[in-house]
Amino acid sequence: MRAAELAEEFPVVDLDSDALAAARLLAEHRLPGLVVTEASGCPHTVLPASDVVQFLVPPYVRDDPSLAGVLSESMADRVADKLGGRTVRELLPGEPRELPRVDADDTIVEVAATMARLRCPLVAVMRDRTLLGVVSASRLLEHALTPR
């Protein structure tokens, strides 16, 4: 099986998309991440849902997780306010990550190796500079675990 055969349509956002809208897309569809494109439509990176969650946690709590227990529920309810007025670009780490991408003709093992190496739940399936779709880790596992 080739990557193009496993690829599925998947929501994408661009670098200047609204961060709160992107977070809602992740939440409403229970996605492991989103493909982020440049203005040209070419994939730029993958934004894992875990990075959005990390952005929501105050730095002092990330430094000392025991402080999470002292936050009031009302304060926790306002944590999503941090996303208001921000762009997807602001959620990305300062150091650009390698785009998790595979070629349309890559095998399932090559797809799995890319996911494992980059520790990313999604890979973009490309033919030249065109995004054909995405292979998620759950889709890959579904295929790998289905008896033939």
pLDDT tens figures, 17-50: 999 999 999 999 999 999 999 888 889 899 999 8
Report the percentage of the chain scoring pLDDT > 90: 54
- The pLDDT tens digits for 80-114 are 778 888 999 999 887 778 889 999 999 999 999 99
Q: Is the pLDDT confidence value at 136 over 70?
A: yes
CATH architecture of 3-145: Roll (3.10)
- The pLDDT tens digits for 49-72 are 988 888 877 777 778 777 777 766
Which residue, 60, 57, 48, is CA-closest to 23? 48
Question: What's the chain's average pLDDT?
Answer: 87
DSSP secondary structure, the chain, as one string: -BHHHH-B---EEETTSBHHHHHHHHHHTT-SEEEEE-TTS-EEEEEEHHHHHHHHS-HHHHH-GGGGGGS-HHHHHTGGGGGTT-BHHHHS-SSPPPP-EEETT-BHHHHHHHHHHHT-SEEEEEETTEEEEEEEHHHHHHHHHS--
pLDDT in the model for residue 116: 94
pTM of the model: 0.82
- The pLDDT tens digits for 69-85 are 776 666 556 667 788 88
Task: Give the integer Cα–Cα distance in Å for 104 and 15.
Answer: 24
pLDDT interval class at 141 (50, 70, 90): very high
Task: Give the integer Cα–Cα distance in Å for 80 and 27.
Answer: 12
Q: Is the pLDDT confidence value at 144 over 80?
A: yes
pLDDT in the model for residue 79: 60
> Residue 38 in 3-state DSSP?
coil
> Residue 132 in 3-state DSSP?
strand
